[in-house]
Every structure is written in structure tokens, then in C-alpha cells.
A and B are shown apart, each in its own frame.
Chain A
Amino acid sequence: MAIPHAQFAKGEAGEGIIRLDGSWDAAHGDALERLVAEMGEAAAHHDGALVVILDRLVSLDTLGAYLVFRLCSRLAEAGRSVRLEGATESQKILIEEVSFAPPPAAGDRRSLAPAYDMLSDVGEAVVDAGRDLSNGVAFFGAVVAAFGRLLTGRTRLRIASVVTQLERVGLRSVPIIMLISFLVGAIIAQQSIFQLRTFGTVQFVADLLGILVLRELAVLLTAIMIAGRSGSSFTAELGSMKMREEVDALQTMGLDPLEVLVVPRILALMIALPLLTFLAAMAGIAGGAVVAFFYGGVSSDVFFSRLQNAIGLNTFMVGMIKAPFMALVIGLIACIEGFAVRGSAESLGSHTTASVVKSIFVVIVVDGMFAMFFAAINY
């Protein structure tokens, strides 16, 4: 296709003639921009009437037409008389269609000194955090009220929904959680044996492993895995339902989204997480035991008798009591973030990320608070 040209010449009657040639289309956009600038420059040095002649054009599309229009209108604005010649009927219509004066570019928001920006960012972050907290408390209250209605029999429990969620949250995460706990248990046992060997007290690996896994590791690992696995999927599900107005549809049918969507999910989490924690604890101890037998050379008699000595019911209970609370915070955060999703795909992504990050953070904070509490009551 023909490369676009433009020529400026003086006509017989002293008028300036701008003759356009070639393909004035989007494919030659950068060349056209330059040509128009050049022609505008050339015409500015000439005084007298101006004529833009299009008779040699091979093609003209909206971009070309707009540039022709812009050339003419800028010259006209500068007080020159300009006329178009040699345009075909369809070219005239096209130029007519695209002729529009761009609004004056809106000036950017006057940016203040960087210090102000930083201060305002910090302020916004603090306000956001406060709003997160108050939203969380309000949502928690609404969920408690929904559970209350459930317990007093004013709404029915959606058993099918709870069971489905239980399968997805509980049953399907059993393999990965047990595998990870087994491996972490094994790694901890190996490291402990390696250090305890120096003192010749390898058999104490059973004490260390039992207490560590039952009190802390099993529940923490499980909660973090579930926050990543189920928390993210809750947020994404609820978020996309929100985007497609499915949540609004529920509301218009007289159903409370909290009762239909949130309660079954949180209930399933609160049932599944203690069970998974128990499995994780067993897998972790099994992993440690295997390493103790084969790497540490501890006989199974010694290992299990030490284990029995070291741990009591309270060691086990400390881990288990924490599990439903972890489930509650994971479920609450996932659902709050899910309902906070707005129209765009980007918002869905950022809320899912926020859900996982916040859940893991809060899980660890809650674990720390429990540690202080149990230490205080000497349990």
C-alpha cells in the first residue's frame, strides 16, 4: 500500500496548497502524525488562503480523516481560511463524522509535596484498618445472630449445603494436610535428633515432638493450609456471585445471604478444622516416629513410653481447643472479603489475595493470644 505523502506548494493565485497523497490510514499512523505537524508548520509561514486537496488519496480511514480534520481546524483556529477540495462523497461523510474538537486536556490533580502524599497514605491506611475492624465486628455479630436464629429454630439448617462444604473443605484436604504434617514432623524429628545426639539424649525427641506437634504445629499448619485452600475459594466464590448479582437475587427471594451462603461455610469449617487438626497431629507424630526409628535408632518401646510420659490430655486439648476459633476467623475473613468484591476481575483477585494474607496473619495472632492465655492459667 502506498506510503502517505503531503506537499506544500504555492498556487497561482498566491494561495497555499497542501496536497495529500497515498494511504492515510491507521497503519501509517506515526508517519501521518509527522506529516500533519510538518504541513501545519509550512502553512504557518505562508499567509493567504489555504487549500487542502485530497484527490490523490489512495485510502482514508477514521485516523486519517481525523488528522485531516485536525490539520484544517488548527489552521482555522489560527485565523486562516481553509477549504477542502477533491474529497469524494464518502470521504466527506467520514471527515464529517470524526470532526469533533477534543475537550481541553484536564489538568492533572495538583500534586502536593511528597510529604503530604505520604501522610495522607498513612492516614488512609489507618482509616482502612479501622474500617476493616469495625466491619469484621459487625459481620461477626450478624453471623452470631444467624447462628442464634438457627439454634432457636427460627430458620432451618441447610444440611445438604453443610455436607457439600464439609466434603470440599474437610475430606478433600485430608491428603495434602496429612502429607505436609508428616513431612514437617519428620524434619523436626531429624533436626532435634541431630542436636540431641551431642548430649546423648536422643530418646527425648519423643517429648519434644509430641508437645510441639500437639500444642502448636498441627493446628497452625492446618489453619494456614485451610486459609490458603478454602479461604481463597470462599472469597472467590462469594466474590463472583456478588459480581453476577447472584447475592442480590438471593436477597430478592427473601433469603438471607448470610444464612444461605455464610453459615453453612463457617459451620463446615468449624467442624472440619478440629478433625483435620487431629489427623495432622497423628501424621506429624508418625513422621517423627519413622525418623526416630530409622535415623535416630530409638526403639519403638522407648519412643512410645517417652511419648506417653511427656504428653497428657491437656497437651492434646490445647491444640484442639484452638481449632474451631481458627476456623471461625478464617471463615469470617473469607466471607467479608468475598462480599467486598466490586465489579472488576482485578477486584476479585485483590480481595482473594487479601483474604488469604489476612487469614494467615490473624491465625498467627490468635495462636499467640492462646499461648499467653494457656500460660497464664497454667494449662
Chain B
Amino acid sequence: MSIFSRPAPANERPDPPPELGLPIIEIRDLTVGFGERLIMDGLELDVRRGEILGVVGASGTGKSVLLRTIIGLVHQRKGRVRVFGHDMGQLTPQRRRLIERRWGVLFQHGALFSSLTVKQNIQFPMREYLDLSESLLDEMAMVKLRLVGLKPEAAERFPSELSGGMIKRAALARALALDPEIVFLDEPTSGLDPIGAADFDELIATLQKTLGLTVFMVTHDLDSLAGICDRIAALGDGRVLHTGPLDEMKKQSHPWLQAYFNGPRARASHFYTQPAGGRTT
């Protein structure tokens, strides 16, 4: 969400979300480039409501750029991004803000406001958009903290006093502050130890189940892909190489997909020790 946007009218939600399993984000013919360099060339992708979609790709294939294009931080040269059935390029700024309220973003390095405490960071979007009493704001911040597995003591600390894992959790709590329908995660488990990363995966899966979230997750973590993603989209050559559940991805003949899903690191990870794609929505 843009911190520069003014509060949108509180009790106006344009439309109900689509049915479970139907596309909530539709990307068609998306072309994005910087200067001479073309990052995406005619990319097409659907994200279905209620799923956890993992986006993978070699470094520099534009995973983060795709995420930033969907949330409107990068402008496309061509193509359409539809979220909740609205073409994001065609919306007036006010309508856009209504849509922006319905998603939360976890940036790669957390992007917590460094001059605010964790509690104030979580309350920031609530204060902007909701009309709640001070005591309820405090209680809600504590609820969100507990939801992401942080101790109440963390509330009064500043981001610079937190460990990497705590920053990710606090940033997730802020992303969840307005009860979004879609959560965008940019490498949520990077920089966490394997136990912390597994915890974080678990947390995302639990939250997705209880809150009915749709999760768009850029990741390199093979364990996350195997453990919690319903579908995987692999980017390469400016487009989506293939989308599908893990089993399907492993059978693809594209050399990069072969190397990624059947390489030594993949074999060493949980791919082969637990039933892949076992979680159902």
C-alpha cells in the first residue's frame, strides 16, 4: 500500500472476492523493461483465490519485478494486470487505493519504518484506514504479533533492535494489519536458518488456512516450494516457463527446470522425503 495515499472511505468495498479456485490475479501479455533491457516479454499468469503460488526463476529473471509490477511499483510497457477483476492500469487513483487496501506486501528486507516501534509499525495502516479506539488498536497490534509468533516484549522495540527472523515476522504482521485478501511475499525465508524458515513456512500455511488468504510468494527455498506451495510458476526468458504442482514441474523437459527441480540441492531437500504437493486446499 502506498503510504502517500489518503484514507479511502472506510465501509466501501467494491465487490466480493471471486469464488475459491477462480483467478484473483490475471496477468496477460505483460511486457516490462528498463531502458534497453526487456525483463518480461508477453508474460501470462493466473493466481487462483485461496492458493499459495510459489514463483521461482534464476536470478535476474524478474521475479521481484513481476511482484512489483502487480502491486504497481513498476510500470509495464504493455499488457494487463487484473486484480479482483479490475484492470489495474485503468483504475482511478481512488479505486486503486481501495484495491491496495485489500492486499499486504512483505518486502524482502522487511521495510519496517525504522523510526517507529514494532507496535507502531503494525498500527500504522490501521490508523490510516480504520477508525478504532486507542485501546483496541493496542490490543489488535498484540493480536497480530501473537498471530505471527512474536512475543509481546517485541512490541516496544525498534526494527534495528530485532533479529532477521523477528523483522520478517514483524513485517508480516504489518502486511496482515488490514486483513488483506492477497499477501505478496518477496523471499520470505531468505536469511533465516532452516528451523526458522520451516517455522515461517508453517506460519504462512496456518495463516492462509485460518484467514483464507491467497499467497503470492517469490522464493528460492526448495523446502517452502515442497512444503506449502499449491502451485509453482517458473519464470525464464521473460515469460512463464511452466506452472503446476511440484510433481508436474519435476517432469518438465526444459533444461533449467530439470536443473532446478532435479538438481543435487533439490534431491537433498525435502522433495524426496515427504509426499510432494500433499497439502490440499
Chain A contacts to B: CB under 8 angstroms: 1, 3, 25-30, 33, 61-63, 66, 70, 90, 93-94, 97-98, 100, 102-103, 105, 243, 342-346
Contacts and interface: CB of A to CB of B under 8 A. Distances in A.
A5 B53 CA distance: 36
A66 B115 contact: no
Q: 5 nearest interchain CB pairs? A: A343-B160, A346-B115, A344-B114, A61-B179, A30-B131
Contacts of B178: 26
Contact of B146 (A3, A28, A100, A343): A100
Q: Is the interface of B mostly helix, strand, loop or mixed?
A: helix
Interface in B1-40: 10-13, 16
Nearest to B160: A343
Given A62-B143, A97-B147, A30 B152 contact: no
A33 B140 CA distance: 12
B210 A90 contact: yes
B13 A94 contact: no
A102 B143 CA distance: 8
A296 B109 CA distance: 64
A3 B113 CA distance: 34
Nearest to A102: B139
A26 B130 contact: yes
B161 interface: yes
Nearest to B8: A27
B208 to A, nearest CB: 11
Contacts of A90: 209-210, 212
A66 B160 contact: no
A98 B147 contact: yes
A66 B143 contact: yes
A265 B135 CA distance: 51
A62 B144 contact: yes
Contacts of B140: 62-63, 66
Interface string B102-132: 0000000000011100000000001001111
Contacts of B212: 90
Interface residues of B, number: 37
B58 interface: no
A102 B146 CA distance: 11
A33 B147 contact: no
B211 interface: yes
Contact of B10 (A27, A102, A342): A27
A1 B133 contact: no
Contact of B142 (A30, A102, A344, A346): A102
A105 B211 contact: no
B138 interface: yes
A26 B179 contact: yes
A64 to B, nearest CB: 9
Contacts of B179: 25-26, 61-63
Given A62-B144, A93-B210, A102-B138, A1 B130 contact: no
B130 A343 contact: no
A63 B131 CA distance: 12
Contact of B158 (A30, A93, A98, A343): A343
A343 B143 CA distance: 27
Contact of A100 (B114, B143, B210): B143
A32 to B, nearest CB: 9
A30 B146 CA distance: 23
A100 B142 contact: yes
A237 to B, nearest CB: 18
Interface string B204-239: 001001111000000000000000000000000000
A345 B114 contact: yes
Interface string B168-187: 00000000101100000000
B165 interface: no
Nearest to B13: A1
